[in-house]
Structure 1
Amino acid sequence: MIHGVGMAELKKNADERGFFAELVREDWKSFLEGDHIVQFSLSQSHPDVIRAWHRHTRGQNDYLVCISGTIRCCVYDDRKGSKTRGELDEFVLSGTDALWLVRIAGDCWHGYKVISQEPALILYGVTKLYNHAKPDEERLAWDDGSVIPTSINGRADDSRAGRSYDWGGPAGP
């Protein structure tokens, strides 16, 4: 997994009424790696929408949970000097299955594609307040040819490695 990226399965406490799940707890210190989440935002995206690629340059990290629909979330590391430079991590997240919290190293390129037939709702926690006048973002087009992973999910033998990342293709080898 890319340095600074992580996943934690969120426990669903379910009964006949539905379920309750804790999304973030201050005492999850090993997962939060010292981060303090200062803002939550909610995004809805329609089927086949791709929201990629962007990264943060002023120290922001993101925490993401898909609460309905299904997305393919990707993180690509092109940080100079990173021990995981060239790697791409790909996660399929669904609000109907197990809930997962994904920690995204904000200085890595990241984004997602809605792969369900229904819209997806994504809840974001961030470690820096959004500045409308001067957003902390750099962007690449979703189909930018410079995103060429050397491995995907730690596998250099993935047939998609060594080529420009294809959001349209299936997830997994």
Structure 2
Amino acid sequence: MPTIHDVEVRDLQVNADERGHLVEAFREDWAEYDIDPAMSYYSMTYPGIVRAWHRHLEGQIDHFVCPQGRIKIGVYDEREDSPTKGELDTFVIGEHNQQVVRIPGDCWHGFKAISTDPSILINYPTELYDYDDPDEERIPYDAERVPLDWNEPPHE
């Protein structure tokens, strides 16, 4: 369960039969998501690759879903006015654990592909990407200011 203020996780229903499965990745009638996505995109990431750290400072909220493969998401709260400043959340989602993770964009966030095959991430951000003036601040995945070692094994 999330510890960071405004981070939310929703289990996704997997409707499976002999043909395969269907998963609703986002619905406007989900009560905990009172937003309207501005766009969606997906990215494919090779095993072992880390895509971190970044944050958005203009109010964007991200909604991560991993329909193929498996990813470890990291969210670090460095917001001055947050009741959970200094907290770190991690989530492992993917084929085995279908969830959507709501990430306040002004928290540092990123992910690592941890399955043996490439992983697909779908994001439903609340703001359009501005190619000329991106709302994005970046630091390296191994920046000391974020207390997450992407290679550390999971805690039991």
Q: TM-score range by the shorter chain?
A: over 0.9
Q: Counterpart amino acid of 1:66?
A: C
In the superposition, the TM-score normalised over structure 1's length comes to 0.86
d(CA) in 1 for partners of 2:13, 2:97? 8
1:1-20 equivalence runs, <5 A: 1-20=3-22
- Aligned positions, number: 154
The answer as to whether partners of 1:90 and 1:171 remain within 8 angstroms in 2 is: no
Q: Counterpart amino acid of 2:24?
A: E
Superposition deviation, residue 73 in structure 1: 0.4
Task: Tell me what 1:61 maps to.
Answer: 61
Task: Tell me what 2:23 maps to.
Answer: 21
Q: Deviations over 1:72-103 (max 9, x none)?
A: 101000100210111110001122x1310110
Structure 1 residue ranges (4+ consecutive) displaced by more than 2 angstroms after TM superposition: none
Q: Aligned to 1:39, what secondary structure does the other structure show?
A: coil
Q: Deviations over 1:118-168 (max 9, x none)?
A: 1100011000000011111000100001113xxxxxxxxxxxxxxxx2111
In the superposition, the TM-score normalised over structure 2's length comes to 0.95
Task: Tell me what 1:88 maps to.
Answer: 88
Percentage of identical aligned residues? 44
- Stretches of structure 1 that go unaligned for 5 or more consecutive residues are 149-164
d(CA) in 2 for partners of 1:169, 1:75? 15
d(CA) in 1 for partners of 2:57, 2:25? 26
The answer as to whether partners of 1:40 and 1:126 remain within 8 angstroms in 2 is: yes
- Aligned CA-pair RMSD: 1.0
- Stretches of structure 2 that go unaligned for 5 or more consecutive residues are none
1:75 aligns with 2:75: yes
